[in-house]
Structures are given as C-alpha cells and as structure tokens.
Amino acid sequence: MDAPLVIVGTGFAGYALLRALRQRDRHREVHLIGADEAAAYSKDQLPAGLAHRRDADELVIATAEQMAYRFEATITPHRRVLAIDPASRTLRTDSPAQAEQAWSQLVLATGADSVRPANVRGSAAASVLTVGSLAEYAYLRSELAGRGRVAVVGGSIRGCELAESLKRGGCEVTLLEPDPRLLGGSVPALCAERIAAALTAAGVRIRIEDGVQRIDQGMHELHVTTLGGKPLAVDVVVAAQGTRPRVQLARAAGLDVAAGIVVDAAMRTSAGTIHALGGCAEFEGRVFELGEDIEAGAQVLADVLAGHGARMRWKARVRRLNLECCAVAICEPPPGAGEWYESATARGVRALFHDRAGALRGFALVGDPAGESGSLLGRVAR
C-alpha cells in the first residue's frame, strides 16, 4: 500500500490544506500530526475571547475527532515529530507504539513561536506568558482568575489588540513598548500616535521607549522593573513581540532555511517531496502571516499535490485591526524603497506609501479614513 500524504501541524495552515485537498479529492489517504489537542480554532479570535472572558473550549470550532470525521483523514493529536529523513521518506515521532511514519509527500505546517523579551532577569523571569495557541490562551485565562493587573510587553499589532481586549475584559493594563512608537514599522509615525491616543482614551496605560528589565516574585504579585528603572506591580506579564517561524525540523533535515522554511512558487522546499505552508514558510523573502495568504497558499499547494501546475503569488491584502477604540486598516507595502505620505485631521489619519516611481504600494488608515480601504486597494500596484 502506498504511503500517505502527511501534514505535520494541525493549526490554521494544516487544516486549510486539508479542506483544500478534500475539495479536489475525497479519497486520498491523508494523515495529520499535531503536537497539541489538534482542535480547530482561529487565532484571530483569541484577543476577542479575552475581551468577552470566554473559556478556551468556547473558541473551538471543531475537535480533532470531528475534523477527522468530516474530512475523512487520520488526525493524531499529542504527538511530536522528532526528525525527518528526506532520503527514506520517513519521519520519527515520540510515539512508543509507532515511532516511524512513512510518507509519499510531506507538508510542514509547523507554524511559529511567540517571541519573548530577551535578557529579562529576576526570580520570576520565566513567568512571562504568550498567547499564541489555544493552550496558552487557556493558561492565561486561568492565571487571570480573580486577578486583573496585566503588563503587555510589545506594542506590535497583536500587542495593541491584546492590550485593548484585556482592558475591555476588565483588566488594568499597562502596555510597554521599547521602541519610540507603537506598531514598529507597520505604520508611520502619525498613524502610530493616533492609535496610541485611542488606546489611552480607552484606558490602556502606555509606556513608550520602555520595556522589562527584571521580574521578581512578590508575596501576592509580580514586581516588574522596567528598562527605565520604574517599578510596576502586576499579576501577569504577557509578551506580544511578534512570532518566529518554527524551522528546527526543516533545518535538521537539511532543508534551505532563512527566516522561514524557503519555498518556491509551488510551495516546494529544497527537498522536492517536502512542501511547507503557513507561519513556518517563507516565499520570495516574506513569511506567511495573514490568514488570506495562508488560504491562498493552501489552494496552490492542494493543486500542486494533485498534479497541477498552480503557482503562488503575493497579492495586496488589507489587514483590519481588532480594535474597538479606533478603526485601523493596513495594506503593508512590499519590501523595497519608497516613502510614506501622511495627512491627519481630527477624524483620522491617511498614510499612503509610494515607491520611487510614484506608484501606490501600500497604505495605513486610522479612524474614518479606514472606510477608504476597499477603493484604495484597487489602486495598489503589485
């Protein structure tokens, strides 16, 4: 009997590929291996879940058993892949019963890890939490039970969303950002300032150019010392400083790795029978981050695995932040030379990114101008 198609990872990318495969072929043998409970859920709903104080099981769209039944696949939760052998087309797992799994084609959909603040000292330095998975969400919810003072470290897009959601959920929130402005390079200065003002008006305390130096355990609370030397007493510290693709398996197997696992337009890695998809993958120097791009990659890869000649290409996308305090729409420009042009009124900020030839390549809209995102997207050159 031929070996199955194996997908390593049961997150958004793994399940997006499974759905796309079943649109084309209901009979091919497909195995998915997940390191956690392999439940289907949306990471984008985690901040909103905090705002509404929802338990983790309320965010589950389908269990592993339900996904396996619906899409006629073998799904194995709570199993870690330890090594991949491209030559023999096998992988090794931590299962005593079935340590080795053969595959005909392999897809790595291992996702990304949350980045934690570096060089934090103190007796409770290891207590920093992240919210990159359903299990981490559940643990944070348990840590917040009966307590509500939170320090969010990192003013990234996800950091701003978490800070506002935690505040709406009844927490007292301090947002620490080591850089001079929020959202890093995602938006220009006036946009970042307007978002910071909206968060402040919503009750989030923001400390720009400050981060965490040390965390010490007190009797009933955590004592944070910021980079500026200021004390801060909190119950929970949450890191929101972005993500880092999980590439350890691919690197150990000898695949080409840069920031992510390098793939071509067919989502193929440097080993022809191995593909990669989702937050672990990198195409044309960019890591997959937006759900729409991962869905597009899943459709391409499903066609490729079915023997067709589909090819991936980046499209202009609009990302709308999950903030109630102000509307924000971002179309991130591709890497390359250019300049932001900003205009601000009392109703919001409009920022357009033009390349050296004058072509519109991206935009950031805050407040009322966010309603223009649809019309602007049609003008963006790619």
Buried b or exposed e, range 239-263, using 16+ CB within 10 angstroms: bbbebbbbbebbeebebebeebbbb
**pLDDT above 80 for 332:** yes
By C-alpha distance, which of 182, 184, 202, 185 is closest to 193?
182
**pLDDT above 90 for 382:** no
Q: What is the per-residue pLDDT for 187?
A: 94
User: Average pLDDT of 274-281?
Assistant: 98
Confidence of residue 286 (pLDDT cuts 50, 70, 90): very high
User: Average pLDDT of 208-225?
Assistant: 95
Please answer whether residues 225 and 214 qualify as being in contact, where contact means their C-beta atoms are separated by less than 8 angstroms.
yes
User: Average pLDDT of 324-345?
Assistant: 93
SS (H, E, C) 268-307: ECCCCCEEECCCCEEECCEECCCHHHHHHHHHHHHHHHCC
User: Average pLDDT of 2-9?
Assistant: 95
User: Average pLDDT of 163-186?
Assistant: 94
Q: Phi first, then psi: what are they for 75, rounded to 5°? A: -120, 120
Q: What is the per-residue pLDDT for 305?
A: 96
Q: Let me know if 122 is exposed, middle or buried by CB neighbors in 10 A (0-12, 13-18, 19+).
A: middle
CB atoms within 10 A of CB 345: 10
Please answer whether residues 336 and 286 qualify as being in contact, where contact means their C-beta atoms are separated by less than 8 angstroms.
no
**pLDDT above 60 for 5:** yes
Q: What is the per-residue pLDDT for 337?
A: 80
Query: What pTM was computed for the model?
Result: 0.94
The pLDDT tens digits for 245-261 are 999 999 999 999 999 99
**pLDDT above 70 for 1:** no
By C-alpha distance, which of 133, 113, 101 is closest to 11?
133
| Residue 1 one-letter amino acid | M
Distance CA 168, CA 198 (A): 13
User: Average pLDDT of 215-227?
Assistant: 95
Buried b or exposed e, range 306-318, using 16+ CB within 10 angstroms: eeeeeebeeebbb
From residue 274, how far is each of 42, 132, 217, 286 by CA, in Å? 26, 25, 46, 19
Confidence of residue 291 (pLDDT cuts 50, 70, 90): very high
Q: Which domains, from first to last, does the chain contain?
A: 5-113+243-305 (3.50.50.60), 116-239 (3.50.50.60), 327-377 (3.30.390.120)
CA atoms within 13 A on the CB side of 373: 20
Question: Mean of the per-residue pLDDT values for the chain?
Answer: 95
By C-alpha distance, which of 164, 202, 161 is closest to 183?
161
Please answer whether residues 365 and 358 qualify as being in contact, where contact means their C-beta atoms are separated by less than 8 angstroms.
no
**pLDDT above 90 for 350:** yes
Q: What is the per-residue pLDDT for 74?
A: 97
Cα four-point dihedral sign 195, 201, 205, 210: positive
Distance CA 379, CA 221 (A): 52
Q: Let me know if 354 is exposed, middle or buried by CB neighbors in 10 A (0-12, 13-18, 19+).
A: middle
The pLDDT tens digits for 94-115 are 988 788 999 999 999 999 999 9
CA dihedral 85, 89, 94, 96 (to 10 degrees): -130
The pLDDT tens digits for 20-59 are 999 999 999 999 999 999 999 999 999 999 999 999 999 9
